[in-house]
């Protein structure tokens, strides 16, 4: 197990793993904050924070997945089957983080009504932090990704 975690961190980078952890908590906070309360009303963010949360909720997993894909493509070129497997699992982990965070956030929001104000307040900072960390983690991979897309469609 220790070798697997070490290989995952080596493939995606420590910042990539940390960005996934922050994204997990960001998804929990945004999902738990909007679950209906006992009266059936949803607590909503104001327009600008809601827009920022929506944009970061779309971009963060995309950046994390793109970075994992580029790491997978580079490891596939190196013909190292263990690194290829680890980066494939890393790509899948991005999807798992979002779904698990959404499910857990919905459960927390439905059961722990007293945590909803905290989740509501934490949603925007956590989402922006996750986006910044994902952008920083994916930054080395972006030129290669843009080049491969340009070659494919250009």
pLDDT in tens, 49-97: 888 888 998 999 988 888 887 776 666 555 666 666 666 776 778 888 9
Burial of 28 (0-12, 13-18, 19+ CB in 10 A): buried
pLDDT tens track for 114-152:
888 888 889 999 999 999 999 999 898 888 878 877 887
Check: pTM over 0.75? Answer yes or no.
yes
> 131: Cβ–Cβ under 8 A, 6 or more apart, which residues?
55, 56, 59, 60, 63
Whether residue 16 has pLDDT greater than 80:
yes
For residue 80, the model assigns a pLDDT of 62
Candidates 26, 91, 29; CA nearest to 58 is 26
Interior/surface letters 78-111, b for 16+ CB within 10 angstroms, e for the rest: eeeeebbebbbbbbebbeebbeebbebbeebbee
């Amino acid at each position: 197990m220790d070798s697997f975690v070490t290989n995952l961190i080596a493939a995606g980078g420590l910042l990539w793993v940390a960005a996934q952890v922050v994204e997990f908590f960001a998804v929990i906070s945004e999902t738990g904050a909007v679950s209906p309360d006992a009266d059936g009303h949803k607590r909503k963010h104001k327009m600008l924070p809601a827009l920022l949360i929506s944009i970061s909720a779309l971009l963060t997993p995309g950046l994390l997945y793109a970075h994992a894909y580029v790491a997978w493509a580079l490891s596939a070129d190196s013909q190292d089957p263990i690194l290829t497997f680890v980066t494939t699992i890393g790509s899948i982990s991005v999807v798992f983080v979002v779904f698990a965070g959404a499910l857990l956030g919905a459960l927390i929001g439905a059961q722990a009504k007293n945590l909803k104000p905290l989740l509501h307040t934490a949603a925007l900072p956590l989402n922006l932090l996750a986006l910044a960390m994902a952008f920083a983690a994916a930054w080395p991979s972006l030129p290669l990704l843009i080049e491969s897309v340009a070659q494919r469609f250009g």
